[in-house]
Structure 1
Amino acid sequence: MSSQRSFQEMTPPRNNRPPPFEPINCCGESEDSFVDSPAKSTTNSLRIPVVTRTAGQSRSNSSLEQERNESYVKEENFNVQYEMTLRKYHSTDVPYIDSHCHTDFIFNMLHRKYPENHVGINDWVDKYPAAFPKSFAGFIANFIKPGLFVNDTESSEYDMEWILRELEESGLYIGTTWGCHPHQAETWWKKGTFWTTLDHILSNVSKYKVLAVGECGIDLHRCESSLESQKVVFDKHVALAYKHKLPLVVHCRNGKQGNSEDECLKILKEQMEKNHPFLKIHRHCYTENWSTAQRWLKQCPDVHFGFTGAVLSFNEGQIEAIRRIPLDRILLETDGPYFKPKCFERIAPSKVCLPGMAIATAERLAEIKNVPLEEILRATYNNARRVYQVPVF
């Protein structure tokens, strides 16, 4: 048996279940009730419970025990599969970048659960090394909740000190983007302090490691902000991107209220006619079909499409878009803490996607495009550096 540590051993065990590679005791059974399973990972022997039947045992009880036993087999098989998957991720030397995540949201989720142990990205890397493969080169953090960075008397969330400390202490911050998410538009669209602060941040590229404007856009799915406020906020963000010669991160989500793609493209067209069409655009968290992608490619000659862990559950229409979008127009992102890949579920806090997990999205993209994982990692790494014009701060 290999002396290497398993990925489970590299991280604290989950409180609500035993470590996956330890014998699972059921209904008070002792460890004598377990035998070695023929299935093995490269680092662990897996063990499953033996179900014994006594004379006269009812068939219904036997069925229940069989069902329970089968569930354990599935559990252990899953453990083998995810261990092998993670070892594959950690074996590659090709660098990759998470081009879109929200470290402030990740901090809020982790800090609520573990207030003394999760201060920022350096702590997460130390506590969950299996979630950060060795070729992970860093991430671009999106700050899209103005209450965090606008010193407004009505906001209790202001904490620019935390942001600046993070940027100073961790080299994994490749850069940042700043803006107002559509969900926040109604609150901030008429506040002069927001627009003044945003313009100030975008003017101080080195201090704030600014790479782009946004994410911003139109959300017609479940958004409490009015369409009017969203359109005004998005239009002003586009204007700021042109003013500061920065890329634009665009959020579009369709819903019962209408087609957000139509609204976004209309505003972009007007701004492009006033300026120029070659604005670098990161169409964030793309989940639409090939037909919609064609509209973006036709109108915006420098648009790139970001894909998250949502690709793991795409339908055929969405998969076709991935197949047909050129590889040099694809960006890798997590949108962390959202869209956590299942293979990482047991090596980090539940429902929290960390930036290093973007590699799971890359693997799915590789499967769809029928190319090696390394080709996706290399291409998206180069794409992110080109789109965001990544400098050395």
Structure 2
Amino acid sequence: MAKCMLGPRATPQDLCDHIRRYQLIAEGWQMTDSQQEAMDHLSRVMGWSVPKTFDLDLMNSPAVLLHWRSLKIMAEALPSTTLADLRSTYAEVIPQQVPATVVHEVASERAPEPVEELEVELPEEDFLPMIHAFDSHFHLDRTRRKLRLSPKASVSDLVEAVPVPQKEYVLKMSGVVVFCDPDTYPSSQDIQDLLKERYLVAIGVHPKHILTPPQRQAFLELLRVPEVAGFGEVGIDHTVRSPDMWYRQEEQLRSLLPHIQPHQVLILHIRGLRDDPTGLEAYMRCFDVVREWVPLEQKIQLHCFSGTEEVIRVWLERFPNTYFSLSGMVAKFSDVQRRAVKSIPADRLLLETDAPYFLVSPEFPCSAPHLLDHTARHVSQIRGDLSLTEVLELTDRNGSNLF
């Protein structure tokens, strides 16, 4: 089951970590004595360490996957074809050994009156295959405003506000919600609520905005929240036609980078001059700033990537844990940019919607996480070596590895 859900190298422990990380099981479920006993026995057979108490909230042992809540999560995450394959491979009738004393006792009792059997016709269900997809960068606060939703609207509310026609598959979404506007930074409770929806949180400041002292303090305090997975977006944006603003952006970036936490991904916003769609100058300038402050092993996401093969080579040579995230911009890429897309190593490729931006079709009011497959389709067509499904599954794994 772990391999079916998370990939061929996944282990039962990986599956436990995945369920705990995204809080797929509601808190408060209690274990019965018989369940604890079964998990204890399985742990000893498999050679796993046995905790004092098996805990569903902590997912503190692979044996907890035996619990029916864990099994339900796994079954819901797999497409019907995979479930059918698992049934045909592993399902078998296990003969029951009944002690002779029990047989004698039952036989000596008076047989009960026969009960008429009712034939129940169950409706046939046509399950659509489920594809896991990871939107590595979108703005919940800005999308709320675009759709005129409540300031507390959830990602589920957003999805309902942007209905899509039925497809041949169902997207099981997760991803990263990016907050880069100080006026709409989330509270600790907001962050917890998003985790329950399978979305991680990143805190940053858009380079077009220079933080005031109180805003800077709020930003630094949020960075210390353990659940904040991303530092950003931060960076430089040369679409602003003011050399003085470019200088202030670089000074702000330099002052913020020392505060990144060891577990956080550095999410960079890099935009070049308006007449330079590849942003080559800006990517190299930001590279010079970042390498002054960031260790070689730092995990980095180049958000909304639009650069060239040279940019990819330079960043990976210095920072091998750099990931390149493609948005709806990819639909309008030049030949130079399309060649860059093909050159991105498969294990460093990400997708994002950057919602509410980069409208994928006039039929929708704005972009949204569950429209990520539109970007995946363009990437599949450009690369030529991956199907739509493979692009989504690959970038889902990459997103989980990065964050």
Checking the alignment, whether the CA contact within 8 Å between 1:131 and 1:356 is kept in structure 2 is no
Checking the alignment, whether the CA contact within 8 Å between 2:141 and 2:151 is kept in structure 1 is no
Matched, 1:136 2:176: no
* Structure 1: stretches of 5+ with no match in the other structure: 1-89, 150-159, 389-393
TM-aligned CA deviation for residue 147 of structure 1: 2.3
Match of 1:123 in 2: 157
Checking the alignment, whether the CA contact within 8 Å between 2:144 and 2:158 is kept in structure 1 is no
Partner amino acid, structure 1, of 2:296: P
Q: Summarize the Cα distance change of 1:281–1:170 in structure 2 as closer, same or farther, 3 Å threshold.
A: closer
Within the candidate set 133, 139, 146, 1:96 is matched to: 133
Q: Distance in 2 between matches of 1:292 and 1:379?
A: 22
Match of 1:283 in 2: 302
Q: Summarize the Cα distance change of 1:131–1:223 in structure 2 as closer, same or farther, 3 Å threshold.
A: farther
Q: Summarize the Cα distance change of 1:128–1:110 in structure 2 as closer, same or farther, 3 Å threshold.
A: closer
Checking the alignment, whether the CA contact within 8 Å between 1:92 and 1:374 is kept in structure 2 is no
Bigger Cα Rg: 2
Partner amino acid, structure 2, of 1:172: E
Checking the alignment, whether the CA contact within 8 Å between 1:308 and 1:334 is kept in structure 2 is yes
Q: Distance in 2 between matches of 1:131 and 1:376?
A: 21
Within the candidate set 382, 387, 390, 1:372 is matched to: 387
Q: Distance in 1 between matches of 2:135 and 2:194?
A: 18
Match of 2:106 in 1: none
Aligned Cα root-mean-square deviation (Å): 2.7
User: 1:85-132: per-residue Cα shift (whole Å, max 9, x none)?
Assistant: xxxxx9552201100000100011111xxx679944222333434279
SS of structure 2 residue aligned to 1:95? strand
User: 1:156-188: per-residue Cα shift (whole Å, max 9, x none)?
Assistant: xxxx46x84475277435211111111112xx1
* Structure 2: stretches of 5+ with no match in the other structure: 1-126
**TM-score using structure 1 length:** 0.63
Match of 1:262 in 2: 284
Checking the alignment, whether the CA contact within 8 Å between 1:363 and 1:373 is kept in structure 2 is yes
Q: Summarize the Cα distance change of 1:92–1:222 in structure 2 as closer, same or farther, 3 Å threshold.
A: farther
Q: Summarize the Cα distance change of 1:271–1:109 in structure 2 as closer, same or farther, 3 Å threshold.
A: same
Match of 1:155 in 2: none
Q: Summarize the Cα distance change of 1:335–1:116 in structure 2 as closer, same or farther, 3 Å threshold.
A: closer
TM-aligned CA deviation for residue 204 of structure 1: 1.4
Within the candidate set 377, 382, 398, 1:363 is matched to: 377
Matches within 5 A, 1:56-205: 92-111=129-148, 119-130=153-164, 134-149=170-185, 160=186, 164-165=189-190, 167-168=192-193, 171-185=196-210, 188=211, 191-205=212-226
TM-aligned CA deviation for residue 291 of structure 1: 1.6
Higher relative contact order (CA 8 A, sep 6+): 1
Match of 1:386 in 2: 401
Checking the alignment, whether the CA contact within 8 Å between 1:131 and 1:354 is kept in structure 2 is no
**TM-score using structure 2 length:** 0.61
Q: Distance in 2 between matches of 1:334 and 1:130?
A: 15
Identity of aligned residues (%): 23
Q: Distance in 2 between matches of 1:116 and 1:178?
A: 21
User: 1:55-108: per-residue Cα shift (whole Å, max 9, x none)?
Assistant: xxxxxxxxxxxxxxxxxxxxxxxxxxxxxxxxxxx9552201100000100011
Q: Distance in 1 between matches of 2:221 and 2:296?
A: 25
User: 1:256-286: per-residue Cα shift (whole Å, max 9, x none)?
Assistant: 69922122111112114xxx30100000001
Checking the alignment, whether the CA contact within 8 Å between 1:179 and 1:198 is kept in structure 2 is yes
Match of 1:34 in 2: none
Q: Distance in 2 between matches of 1:265 and 1:245?
A: 21
SS of structure 2 residue aligned to 1:331? strand
Checking the alignment, whether the CA contact within 8 Å between 2:194 and 2:200 is kept in structure 1 is no
Q: Summarize the Cα distance change of 1:261–1:125 in structure 2 as closer, same or farther, 3 Å threshold.
A: closer
Q: Distance in 2 between matches of 1:223 and 1:146?
A: 23
Match of 2:293 in 1: 271
SS of structure 1 residue aligned to 2:377? helix
